Each structure stands twice: as structure tokens, then as C-alpha cells.
Structure 1
Amino acid sequence: MLLRRCVPFAAALFLLLPTGDALAQSDQDRAAARSLATQGAESFTSGRFEEAIDLLGRAEALVHAPTHLLLIARAQVRLGRLVAAKETYLRIVREELPPTAPSPFKRAQQDAREELAAIEPRIASLRIALEGAAGRKIGVKLDGQPVADALLGVHRPIDPGNHVVTVVPPGLAPIEQGVTIGDGERKELKIPVPEGPAVVPPPGGSVEGQGTWGGGQAEVPPVAPPGTPERKTNAAMLGGGIAATALGLGGVVVGSVFLAKSSGTQKEANDLSASRGCESQGSAGAECGPAIRAQITSLDADAASQQTIGAAGLIGGGVLLAGGVTLLVLELTSKPEPSSSAWIAPYVTPTGLGVRGAF
């Protein structure tokens, strides 16, 4: 029935309301909106509902028309997005049309009222209840989208179908729970939340300049004494070594390719010379004319150029490769240097994580 109702909209999807806002639109905007609306109607009738929503939304952004919104709402219904469709229908129903509004606009508003009444009983309701939260700040997502704290513990409208609720307690692994809701069903989902680790101060109380923080209870790891040798990476040497090695390998590969190519080009020149009787510059066979000699000369020159490039690539690449490998070996085999008296480092234990340091 909805498809049959949409067919007339393809011809009258875009009619301007005689208001100041509509009249303020440019001819280009009106023409573009009309084209987008027509394309959106065609996408809807072809069952490409996502595409229809996008095209009709673009048309609506250029020039407002209730007919745009009606097809958007119908596409949302076809995709099972009843909550979004209800809001779109409400926009149409609550709009005050002037007495001079085009008849397709008035008919769109009437259709919106009827279709809104049909989908409202199908919208489901879900209450997400966290057990054991104890006032903690716990992140909750519904189908990957964050859920506002105001919506926790109360019933909220939701589309029928399959959904995934993700709870992220601080300091603990996320908890996922699936739920399936039918048309108009009212369901409550209770998710137990385990207690997270609590922060325990280090033995002897707080020490200025040295301490731990984390998401909960954690054993205080032993503090490394100042002066303990720690290996420090020389970023410049390591980066230079990697870059030189990569460039060197590239040069060797390019050089090898050009040398192989020069060998093939020279063989082509020799074969052509032998087949046409051009054995030397001073003698010529019956088939060795000026054009053939010019071609042989060109091939010889190409082979020489390729050989030069190949040799340069091999030599340059080899030098860069050797230099890069040398830098990497020197950096990776360098001895650790004693650290200064001030230090800081992260740590992870089976029961928590944090940062330790001394200043």
C-alpha cells in the first residue's frame, strides 16, 4: 500500500509552499531539490531505502516539503527504524500548513497521521538495569552507541529486533549481553556488574614524588632504585638506520632490474644486427639499410643507458644498505646507560595498572 501511495509523489514531490522561506530559495536550489526528491522516490520504489533516505534528506536540506519527510519516514519504517520514523511522522503532523498549501502537502500530512497511528503500537520498550553499580560511573552502549545516564533504569522506546548492550565497568573487561525484542514488547534487561578493584595506598602512606594510581586495588610493585641501568633508544639513529636500509634495498632492486633490462636490450640489438647482416659498421648485408642501422644504434644506446642506471642503483643501494645495517646494529647492540635520579614508568599487575616513579 505504501508503494502505491508513493507513485504520485514522483511527479509532485516538490511543490513550494507559498511562504517567505520557500520563496527565498534560489532557482538552482529548487531545481536541485526537485531532482534529488525524484531520485529519492525512484530509490524508494526500487527498495533501496538507505539511498532514498539520503537523497530525500538532501532535498529537504535545500527546500522543506512534507512530501520529502513522508517518504523518509516510510523508508525508515521499511528498515525497521520505527523510533526514528515516529519522530519524522511527528514533524509532518505538527506542522501548521497554510490554507493555500498545495494539495500534495495536505495529503502527505493526512497520510502521516494514519501511518503514525499504525506504527506506534509496534514500537518496543527496553529498561536497562545495572545491578551492583553502587553509584560508580559505568559506561553503557546500545548497539555501539553511548546510552545517556538519564536513560538507565527507565523504560525507553526501542526498535523491535536484535540488540546488543555493552557495559564497561572501570578497570574491568566490557560485558556484552544480547536482547531480542518483538513488536510492541516491553522488556527489562538486568546486567550484574562485578565490583571493580579499589585503590590501595602504598605501605607507609604517601611518599612525595613517588606513588601509584590505577583503576582499583593493586599490589604496589617494587620501586626501582635510582641509578638502575636502563636502555634508552636513540630515535635518530634507529630511524636513520631503518630509512637507509629501506632506500638501499630499493636501490639494489632498481639496479638489478635495469641491468637485467639492459642485457635484454643489447641482445635484441645483436640479434637484429645478425639477422639483417649488419655485422660491422663497415659492411652491410642486403637487408641492412639505414633504418635498420638507426634502430640498432638506438637499441645500443638504450642498453648502455640502462646499464649505467643499473650500475648506479646497485652501487648507491649497496652503500645505503651497508650504512643502514651498520646503524641498526650499533643501536641494537649499544650498552644501557645509567638513568638519572628522576624517573617514571608504567606498570601492569594481575590486579591493576598504574604509574610509578621517583623525583
Structure 2
Amino acid sequence: MRLAGHAALALAAAVFLGPSLAFAQPKSGGESSAEDAKNKARELFTKGAKALDDKKFSESLELLSRAEELFHAPTHVLYIARAQVGLGRLMDAKATYEKLRDEKLPPGASPGFIDAQAKGKAELDDLDRRIPKVVVVLEPKSASGLAITMNGSVLDPAHLGVGFGVAPGSYVFEAHADGLESGKVTVEAAERTTTEVKLVLQPLGRAKSGTSGSTVSSTGGGWSGMKIASLPLMGVGGAGLVVGGILGGLHFVRQSEADDKYATCFQTCRDEIESLDEEATTFGNASIGLLAGGAAALATGIVLFVVAPSDAPSDDAPASATAWVRVVPGGIGVEGRF
């Protein structure tokens, strides 16, 4: 979303309001007034884009909206949606992105307009994953004179039992029917969550506490359990390969030392030669085991990471994984912390 300085802003404005303006739609008639509107829109867009780059979202939205009022262009709509996202007005931004997505560009539309629409579609997909979802479940499923309210406003019956998006914030749900009512259920709808609201209708004045309520689950934005599990495998596998290579080098060093001793003092240093041979064998066996095991663990971790789903019930990035191999008398130990 960020632009590389004033020069980039001016260039962007020139690109979308330059040769391609034949496909944009002026909001007033007359050749002179259309040209004036085009020039003013260019100026407002440049200022609005700069304000967006500086995270002055309210100022940016005002400037970009004025530019769009003067002269319609898909680029305006894209930047307006981005400003709305910056202000946390996710549902407004969703509607703006959908307007951009659904616009039918004329044949020969400029690359700038086509690119703006393509970027808008991709950003809409990302935004949809951020928007909180609410599912209202009613028990019993129907009743005479039923009315469900959300923050005091009647909820569309089509939303019952079906997830729908809401702006982040606090919501109070309640259900009423002929001679029946539910308790009030208050929920905090946060980004990347789905909240199930359960409303249980009971005779008036006899509603029992604990019958109505809500449950919250996180959706998207994090890494799946399989993807997280692959990190320790890759860490251990990589460490095994590194230490296996080091031990392989030590095997050859000890073997070379034993050969040198054999050539120079076979009879007088036989015990030292045998000791070097034993060390070389230990290092060699450990190296082979670590290289084979490390390669298998690393390969398995990579496969799990690639095939695992991206989304998970968490907004947090996975914790880092640490693994190390410890050489101890008589063996090799692999330890990890993740």
C-alpha cells in the first residue's frame, strides 16, 4: 500500500489520470468542466495517496472521496477502500472493495485500472479473513412472533444459523417470541474470530441463567498445527546434518592420526593407536546415524510445511524452534526446545 515518496505519488496520479482517462467518468458535463474536474481529481488523489502513505487515514479518505466525486476511476475506489481499512471500518471497506470487484471495465481499459481491480480483489480476500463472523443459533429453531435483536435492531431472519460478518466491537443479542424470551448474550467480536451465539427461548420470567451464551473460535491469520509441527523437525534435521558433518570430519582426523602413529611407532604406542581407532569408529558411526536421521527429519519437516494448510485458529506467529545435538561419552543426544 505504501508509495515510494512524492515522485511515486505524482507518477501514479499521472498514470491513472493521464492517457487512460477516456475510460473514467466525469461527474459533470461540458468539455471545460470535465477537464477541470480531471485536473482537480488528479491533485486530490495525489494528496490523498500521500496521506494514506503517512497513515493519516481520515484525511486520506476525505481527499480520495472528493476526487471520486469529481471524477470516477477504479484507482480512486481502491485507495478509498484502503483508507477505510486503515480506519478500522472493515464492513465499509468490504462494500467498497466489492463495488470495485463488480465494476465492468470497458474494452481497452487502461492497465492501471485493470491492475487496481485485480489488487482490489486480492485485498478483499484478505479482508474477508479479518472480518469477525457471528452465527446465531436459536432453540427451539422457530416460534410464533419470533424477533431476534442485535444491539436493539431486529436481525434479518436470513442470518439465523448462518455466519455473517460484523464490524469489530461489542454486540448484545436477545430473542423474543409469543410468551417466550431468551437471556441477553453480550459478545466481543474481534478480527479473525467466529462467535456462535446461542439463544434459548424460555417462558417469560423463567429464563434460567447459563442456558443462553456464546463460544468463540479463531479463524485464519496464523499457522496450522501441522505447519508449526514441521518447524521442530526441520530444526532437528538441520542440526543433525551439521553435527553429523562435524563428526564425520573428526572420524577422518582420528583415523589419520592413528595411521600416522602406526607408521612411526607401531610397537611402542599400540594402546594409543587402538584408542584413536575406537574414537574414529565412534565418530564415524555417530556421523552416519546423524546424517541419515537428520536428512530424514529435515525432508519430513519440509514436506509437512509445504502440504500443511496455511490458516489456523491463532493470530500469533509460531514460536521459534531450537534444536541441538550433544556428544556424550558412549553416544549422541539430540535435544530441542520449541
- TM-score, L = length of structure 1: 0.44
Q: Which has the larger radius of gyration?
A: 1
Which one has the bigger helix percentage?
A: 2
